[in-house]
Structure 1
Amino acid sequence: MTLSVLARLSPIQSTRLTPWLCRGMKQQATPRKGLKVLFFGTDEFSSSALTALSKGIYSENPGVAHIEVVCPPPRYKVRTNKEKTKLIWKARVSSRATNLGIRVHNTPEGGSIQDWEVPTVDLKAGYGANAQFDIGVVASFGAFLPQRIIDSFPQKMINLHPSLLPKYRGPTPIQTAILNSDTHTGVTVQEVHPKRYDAGNILAQVPFELKLGMHRLDLMTQLGHLGGELTVRVLQNLEYSRKHSIVQDETQATITHMFTSGDAKIRWETMTAMDVMRMHWAHFGHIAVWSFLRIKNKVLTVKMTDIELATSFDEPLEEDYLSFRPGSALRKRKHDYIEFPCIDGGRLHVRGFTVEGKQPRDGLQFAAGYIKKNKTPCMLTLSPDCKRPTPNFVYPESYKRPSHLAAVKINDVPLYHSKPKFVKKLKLLEEAEEAKEAEEVKSSEELDESKETEEPKEAEEPKETKELKESEELKETDESK
C-alpha cells in the first residue's frame, strides 16, 4: 500500500558531482530552485541523511534549494583550577555539516526548545534579509517539537524514521529490529504529529533487507542514506505525496523504549550464543555487553567489546568444552581471544575487555591478569555475596545437553561481517554436499534403469514342493511298470 505511493514518485536524478567534490563545497549566493530546508538531527542516522539531502541540491530536478542544520550544542567538561575545557560530546551531524559547508544552529543548552526561535536563512544564500525556511525536516533529533515551531514553516515539517511505521515507533527502532531477529526493516517519511511521536500520516516508505550480522552503526548509515534519498523524492513531489498520504493503523502500532546498560547484561542461564551476538549487534558503538566476574573476594564488572561467533572451522580451546558451565573463560597459549561456551553449545570468541575501573585490554592481557593456570573463572549473571561461595549454575527446566556435532555446527551461518575465508569454506562445503547428493541421485537412477532392463527370472520353487513332485513322479513310474 505504501509502496504504491513511492512508485508514483518521480525518481531522484543522479548527481554528476562526486562525494569528494561536494564535501567542502560552499553553497552559492544565487538562489536555486526548490525548497529552503531546515534540517533537525543529531546522530549517525541524521548525518547520513544530511549527506543524501545535500547531494539532492545539485540534481537536475532539485527538491532542496538550500539547507541548514539544527542540532544540540556540544558538551564540555570544565577542568578544576584550569582555564581549559575538555570536549566530551558533539553531535555527529554537526561535524558532517561542517565538512559539507553547511551552516549549523545550536539549540539552547539543557535540551529544552520551548522558548527557542526558528532562525532565518543565511544572508550568503542570496534570499535577502529575514528570509524564512519553507519546511523543516527532522531525522533522529531527540526532542519533541511543539506546535509553535511546526507552524513557523509555511510547508510545516516532515520526519524521517528508520522503521516501517506504525511498527517500532519511538527512539530505538533499529536496535529493536535486531533484537527481534527481523529479516526486514525500512524507512518512513511522515508528517510531524504535534502531540505524539511518529504518529503522523505516512508520505512514503521503502523496505530494507536486514542481513544477519548487521550491527547498529551499519544500519544507521545505510538507512540514513536510503532515507535521505527518499526525502529528496518526497520534497520533489510534496503536494502529490500529501494528497496520497496514508493514515497510520493504530492497532498495528508498537512502541520502542530507550535502552540502558542493564539491557546489555548477559544472562548465561538462558541466552544462546546467537542471543548474545544479537545483543552485541543491537548496542554496537553505544553500550557494551557485560557480565560479572568474581576474583577471590572481589566482584568485577567486565565489558566485552570485540566479540565473534565461533564456527566449526575454529577448533575449541578445550576438547570437552561442553562439560564446562556456560560463561566459563577458556584460554589457550598463543591465542589472542578468550572462548566462552554458551548454554546451546555455541561458543563466543572475545578479543576486547574493559574491566571496571581499568583501561581496555585485549584477550592476551585479560588472560594474563585474571586467568591463572589450572583455573577457569566463570562469568556470572548475578553479583554473588563475597562472603559466601559462588552458587552453582542453575540450568533451566527440561534442559538437554547438546550433542557435540550439533554444538560444533551451531554457528555455521554466513554473517554480514563474516571473513571471506569463512564464506569461501562454506561455499565449498555446500558445493561438495550438492555434488554428493547429485551422485547419490545418479546412482539410484542407474540402479532403477538396470532393474528395468534385466529379464524377470522364474521364481524358484521351495524344497518341499520339489520333493512332492519327485515322489509323485516315482509313483507314476512304478504304476506304469
Structure 2
Amino acid sequence: MYFMWNVYHSQPRKNVFYVLKSVLSRLDLPGKEVISNLSLKHFSHDSRFSLRVLFFGTDNFAVENLKILNDEFGMLNVHASLLPRWRGAAPIVHAIMSGDRKTGVSIMRIMPKRFDIGDILAQYHIDIGPHDTNCDVSNKLAVAGGRLLVTCLKDLENYSANAQPQGDVGITYAPKIQPSLGHVSWQDKNAESLYNLWRALFGIFHITTFWHGTQVRLMEAQKFEREEMSIADKPGKIIFSKTSRMILVVCAGGGKVGFRKIGVAGKKPMSAEDFYNGYMSKRSPEDWYFH
C-alpha cells in the first residue's frame, strides 16, 4: 500500500516529513524499527518498510509516482477538505477565501485517473475561526489528518471495506492558485471578501495593489466595521489612522480593511506610519488612492 501527501506552498516538504514520520512511528509496520532513523532525503525512497510515501507538488514529482497508482493495493490520500467540497490542488485557500466556517480532512482511496473523487474511508471536521489564516487552518488540519490517518491504518481492513463513494451534491473545485490571485480590484472586493482573501493567501502570496504606478504589498490586515469610520469615498481610497496606526482602505460597499505594514516594490516592508510619512504626505489627499 502507498500513502500520498499533497504538498503545496503552505506545506514545506520538511514539515510534512516530520508529521509523517511521527504518524508512521505509531503504526505496527514491517521495518518499523528503521523509521526513527530515516532522513528527509531517504524518506520517499527507502524500501525497508511497506508504507511508501510519495510527495506530490514538489520538485521530486515524477511520472513514476503516477505509475504506481496501478499497484494492486491502491493508494490512500489525506485531502485537506470535506470532500466532495473543494476537490483540487488548493482546498484550504479556497475554503477560507469563500468564507467557509467549517472544513476538515478526508482519508480517501485513489484509483488511476480518479484524483479527489475516490471513495471516502473517514472524515474529520474542524472549525475555521473568523480570523484564522491559511497557516492556522493548515496546522489544525495537519494534526487532525495525522490522527485520522493513524486511526484508519490501525483498522485499515474495516475502514476500507466500509468506504463510501462521494456524493453528487455539494461538489466544488479548488484549482491551483497563482500570485495574480492576490491583486486587488477595489471595485469588486467588499471588506469581507478582501479580508478573507488576505487570510487565505497568508504565508503563500501577498495581497497587492498599485500606488500611483508602483506596486505595493499589503500586510497584517484587520477588518473594520462601517460604523467605526467615517470615510465616504470611492473604493481604493486610503487614509492613515493615527488611532489604529494603520492604512485604512475603502472597499466596495463602503467597508474598510486596515493594514499595519506596506511593502513598496524594491524596498523592505515598512510600517503604515512610515508609508504615510514617506509617500502619502507628499501628495494631496485627493490623490490618496490605491488602484
Q: TM-score, normalised to structure 2's length?
A: 0.82
Which residues in structure 2 correspond to 1:15-54 (within 5 Å)?
40=5, 42-43=7-8, 45=11, 51=18, 53-54=20-21
Tell me, in whole angstroms, the C-alpha distance in 2 between the residues paired with 1:138 and 1:120: 11
Q: Name the SS for the 1:197 alignment partner.
A: coil
Tell me, in whole angstroms, the C-alpha distance in 2 between the residues paired with 1:185 and 1:333: 38
Q: Is the 8 A contact 1:50 1:228 kept in 2?
A: no
Tell me, in whole angstroms, the C-alpha distance in 1 between the residues paired with 2:202 and 2:5: 24
Which residues in structure 2 correspond to 1:447-462 (within 5 Å)?
none
2:69 aligned residue: 150
Q: CA RMSD in A?
A: 3.3
Q: Is the 8 A contact 2:104 2:124 kept in 1?
A: yes
Tell me, in whole angstroms, the C-alpha distance in 2 between the residues paired with 1:38 and 1:193: 12
**How big is the shift at 1:205?**
0.9
Tell me, in whole angstroms, the C-alpha distance in 2 between the residues paired with 1:374 and 1:148: 60
Higher strand content, 1 or 2: 2
**How big is the shift at 1:262?**
2.2
CA distances 1:100-154 after superposition (whole Å, capped 9, x unpaired): 86322379xxxxxxxxxx7343xxxxxxxxx4x32335576454765532356x7
**How big is the shift at 1:192?**
2.2
1:278 aligned residue: 196
Q: Is the 8 A contact 2:94 2:200 kept in 1?
A: yes
Is the alpha carbon distance of 1:104 and 1:150 closer, same or farther for their aligned partners in structure 2, counting shifts above 3 Å? farther
Question: Amino acid of the residue matched to residue 321 of structure 1?
Answer: I
1:103 aligns with 2:42: no
Question: Amino acid of the residue matched to residue 135 of structure 1?
Answer: L
Tell me, in whole angstroms, the C-alpha distance in 2 between the residues paired with 1:218 and 1:176: 14
Question: Amino acid of the residue matched to residue 102 of structure 1?
Answer: L
Tell me, in whole angstroms, the C-alpha distance in 1 between the residues paired with 2:34 and 2:196: 36
2:251 aligned residue: 342
Q: 2:215 aligns with which of 267, 290, 301?
A: 301
Q: 1:329 aligns with which of 232, 238, 245?
A: 238
1:359 aligned residue: 268
Q: 1:193 aligns with which of 111, 118, 121?
A: 111
Is the alpha carbon distance of 1:366 and 1:352 closer, same or farther for their aligned partners in structure 2, counting shifts above 3 Å? same
Tell me, in whole angstroms, the C-alpha distance in 1 between the residues paired with 2:241 and 2:56: 45
Q: Is the 8 A contact 2:69 2:111 kept in 1?
A: no
Tell me, in whole angstroms, the C-alpha distance in 1 between the residues paired with 2:50 and 2:96: 36
Question: Amino acid of the residue matched to residue 134 of structure 1?
Answer: S
Tell me, in whole angstroms, the C-alpha distance in 2 between the residues paired with 1:221 and 1:186: 12
1:310 aligns with 2:224: yes
1:434 aligned residue: none
Tell me, in whole angstroms, the C-alpha distance in 2 between the residues paired with 1:373 and 1:257: 42
1:292 aligned residue: 210
Unaligned runs of 5+ in 2: none
Is the alpha carbon distance of 1:371 and 1:308 closer, same or farther for their aligned partners in structure 2, counting shifts above 3 Å? same
Q: Is the 8 A contact 1:56 1:63 kept in 2?
A: no
Q: TM-score, normalised to structure 1's length?
A: 0.52
1:176 aligned residue: 94
Aligned residues: 284
Identical counterparts, % of pairs:
23
Q: Is the 8 A contact 2:4 2:77 kept in 1?
A: no
